[in-house]
Amino acid sequence: MAESRINDPLTPAEVRRLLDYDPVTGVLIWRHREDVLPRVNKRFVGKPAGCPDGQYGYISVRLRDRLYQAHRLIWFYVTGQWPTAVIDHIDGNPANNAWDNLREATRAENNRNRMRRRHGLKGVTIEQRTGRWMAQIMLGKKNHYLGTFDTEEAAHAAYIEASKRLHGKFARLD
């Protein structure tokens, strides 16, 4: 009996039976369930479900001996459907699973919204040959040259303008 349950697809009703979700804080909480592992579950009732993955900061939750990313599980919990695309964290924080911070996106849109992990202003590099500041932006796997500028700030302003125009709501300006 338990073996067939493990192979059955997870349902939204089952997720809601096992977990509560606070859409404001974005936290999944273990619910009390007498029918499944009552002895073990009592330790976890009322506590946050999941833990950070350690590498990227996403929260993972184990259900039925399988790990699920919390943001995908939350999408399933709220909408009743598995996401058809990538789930993007609007603020760039992979641990912030508040409902208002989650949206479906393509892989490219999600990559545009990634947090900056380097020094300096986004979209700006120094041109070694001239010593001027060069602005460029990626769109559709192609690098678009935006020009060279006397200051880093002027080059970044050009990047911001292009990012808003090309990437819309997925533009990450910092």
What tens digit of pLDDT does each residue of 108-124 get? 888 777 655 455 787 88
10 membership: H or E segment, kind and range: none
DSSP structure string for 120-136? S-TTEEE-TTT--EEEE
Rounded Cα gap, residues 29 and 27, in angstroms = 6
- Is the pLDDT assigned to residue 4 strictly greater than 50? no
Burial bucket for residue 29 (CB in 10 Å: 0-12, 13-18, 19+): middle
Question: Which of 3.20.190.10, 3.40.50.150, 3.30.1330.60, 3.30.730.10 is the CATH number of 117-170?
Answer: 3.30.730.10
Identify the pLDDT of residue 112: 73
21 membership: H or E segment, kind and range: strand 19-22
Identify the pLDDT of residue 55: 73
Residues 6 or more apart whose CB falls under 8 angstroms from that of 35 comprise none
Higher per-residue pLDDT: 81 or 35: 81
Higher per-residue pLDDT: 86 or 142: 86
Domain spans of the chain, in order of start: 2-111, 117-170
pLDDT band of 22, cuts 50, 70, 90: very high
| 143 φ/ψ angles, rounded to the nearest 5 degrees | -85, 125
User: What CATH number belongs to 2-111?
Assistant: 3.90.75.20
Identify the pLDDT of residue 34: 59
Query: Is residue 15 a contact partner of residue 74, using CB atoms and an 8 Å limit?
Result: no
Calculate the average pLDDT of the chain. 82
Rounded Cα gap, residues 68 and 110, in angstroms = 19
Higher per-residue pLDDT: 157 or 45: 157
Does the model's pTM come out above 0.75? no
Cα 173 to chain center, whole Å? 17
- Is the pLDDT assigned to residue 137 strictly greater than 70? yes
Identify the pLDDT of residue 6: 53
C-alpha distances (whole Å) from 126 to each of 105, 107, 159 are: 32, 29, 14
Q: What percent of the chain has pLDDT over 70?
A: 86
- Is the pLDDT assigned to residue 161 strictly greater than 80? yes
